[in-house]
Amino acid sequence: MELKIIILSLILATSFASFPAISAEPSVTIEMEKTTYSYCERLFYIIEVSEITGEPAIIHIRDESGKESSAIPIEIVNLKNPIPSLFAFEKEIFPLGKYFVDVEYAGSKFTAEFNLIDSDNICIPEVIKQFIIEWLNDKMSDGYLMDAFQKYVDVKLIHIPFEINDKNILEIDIPDWVKNVAYWWIQGGVSDKGFAQMISYLIDENIISFPIPSEN
């Protein structure tokens, strides 16, 4: 009887040992820096995975109405992957309300959420960065840059006290050293508020020279 039990035990042990191990699919979660944002702030979150598979994580950001962004592939190289947004929330682009960050990775899905609330924050639109880059590379004149400020930047940040038109746009002059500060702003070393205050100061003190309107 004991021999039969020993043999049966060996058979069972061998059988179980021959079965392949069943591994769970990798998990994915999102850790939000915070759950409430306001205009001019940048979204930041961490994608955390249980295993690095070599596959990218796919992100969609959607609002309460179901409108969502295009698929955003995120390379996963660590178990924790910080994801800072390159762009700040702008009133012209993002309506107030609840948003969802959906992630899919190696068959697993996870959703985090945050709220975008109103605030008194006013930021320089992202489109201005492209104008600044063109200006830094001498592909845009001083006048056309100031014209872009007048058209796209809230007057509470930068107020240009006269109309820029085809007759005077090429007469506007910005000192070359201002390009250093503009470059720092592009790199994130100067805040929107700080950059706007500097430009406003240069305008008020006539350091950025504007043509004197002719009296008709």
pLDDT tens by residue, the chain, 216 residues? 554 444 444 344 444 444 444 557 889 999 999 999 998 888 999 999 999 999 999 999 999 998 999 999 999 999 999 999 888 888 888 999 999 999 999 999 999 999 999 888 888 988 999 999 999 999 999 999 999 999 999 898 999 988 898 888 988 999 999 999 999 998 888 888 899 999 999 999 989 877 665 554
Which residues neighbour 122 within 8 Å (Cβ) at sequence distance 6 or greater?
39, 40, 154, 156, 157, 192
Phi, psi of 30 (to 5 degrees): -120, 130
What are the backbone angles phi and psi of residue 47, rounded to the nearest 5°?
-90, 120
d(CA 183, CA 176): 12
Spatial separation of the C-alpha atoms in residues 163 and 32, rounded to whole Å: 44
Three-state DSSP state, 138: coil
**What's 132's DSSP letter?**
H
* Tokens linked to 126: 């992202």
Q: If DSSP codes are grouped into helix, strand and coil, which group holds residue 60?
A: strand
Contact 143, 171 (CB under 8 A): yes
Structural domains of the chain ordered from first start: 28-117 (2.60.40.1930), 127-204 (no CATH)
